[in-house]
Amino acid sequence: MSNLNQQFQLPGGRKLGYDEHGAPDGKPVFYLHGSPSSRLEARLYLSEDLLQSLGVRLIAVDRPGMGLSDFQPNRRMLDFPNDLLALADHLKIERFAILAYSLGGPYGLACAFAIPEHLHKVGIVSGAALFTEPELMTNVNEGTRKFLTMPREKPLLARLFLWMMLGVMPRVAPKKFIAGAAAVLPEADRAVVSDPEVQRGFINAMYEAMRQGTRGAFHESLLAITDYGFRLQDIQTPIQLWHGEADQNVPVEMARFAESALPKCEAGFYPNEGHLSLFKKHAAEIIRALV
């Protein structure tokens, strides 16, 4: 089952975009994408066959300003759990798991903090993205660092950079765009990105993120380096982390820090895996652990 390009109107009038995959009556898992990205990202890692075989109903949600979800001015990290809960109520889902990837990780943690009574477990893949901790920023690659810091330091230039790099380049020069992205990745990730199907999925998810322009991605960059509004030590929901030790987008030091700070955390570290390769190779294991 795929139920694509859905929109739900939130109580305040904003719309939230989402796709559904897998078994309609399966165990519900909400998928939180990276940034800048969109609900389409879920298809890169989680096939329909895998979800069906494991009896999982996956709901991949666009965050405000990306894909089919309306922009939300002055949004904070802790506003998102309310959106997710409203969508779950609409879909008649009382309790669920969350699978958060990359920069979706902080939103998974925000949900774990804010709506624990609705969650079985939160799984975070390559996403212990604690960019609010300066001492953990040492091994972040240059592209990620620029995406995070430019909106605060040079806002006008950041808008132009986002529009060119994410809105224009993927369409007019896809090979050049992929080559540029791959150049800053570790070897394990470059092997994943060499697959033409992955390249197409990556570009589609990115282009969908820019459907409404750069505001959503710009705001997400600011939120990633702004105080999240909660402490890891206060999260009582069970958290499971999966992280590659060769990850240069979200360095493994961040995941080790999160593991030590979270009261109920299990973590798996993979010596030669990167930001993309870990999820691509271990998707079945990750989904099984969540449901």
| Residue 167 reports pLDDT greater than 80 | no
pLDDT at residue 140 tops 70: yes
Q: How are strands ordered across the β-sheet holding 96-101? A: 2-9, 15-22, 56-61, 27-32, 96-101, 119-125, 239-244, 265-270
Q: Over the chain, what HEC string results?
A: CEEEEEEEECCCCCEEEEEEEECCCCEEEEEECCCCCCHHHHHHHCCHHHHHHCCEEEEEECCCCCCCCCCCCCCCHHHHHHHHHHHHHHCCCCCEEEEEEHHHHHHHHHHHHHCHHHEEEEEEECCCCCCCCHHHCCCCCHHHHHHHHHHHHCHHHHHHHHHHHHHHHHHHCHHHHHHHHHHCCCHHHHHHHCCHHHHHHHHHHHHHHCCCCCHHHHHHHHHHCCCCCCCHHHCCCCEEEEEECCCCCCCHHHHHHHHHHCCCEEEEEECCCCCCHHHHHHHHHHHHHHC
- Lowest mean pLDDT: which of 25-39, 123-137, 163-177? 163-177
* Confidence band for 124, pLDDT divided at 50, 70 and 90: very high
- Quote the pLDDT of residue 166: 74
Mean pLDDT, all residues of the chain: 93
Which domains are present in the chain? Answer: 2-290 (3.40.50.1820)
Which carries the bigger pLDDT value, residue 101 or residue 183?
101
Q: Residue 153's pLDDT band (boundaries 50, 70, 90)?
A: confident
pLDDT in tens, 15-53: 999 999 999 999 999 999 999 999 999 999 999 999 999
- Provide the residue type at 190 as one letter: R
pLDDT, residue 71, reads 98
Q: How confident is the model at residue 1 (pLDDT cuts 50, 70, 90)?
A: low
| Whether the Cβ atoms of residue 223 and residue 215 lie closer than 8 Å to each other | no
| pLDDT tens digit sequence for 55-68 | 999 999 999 999 99
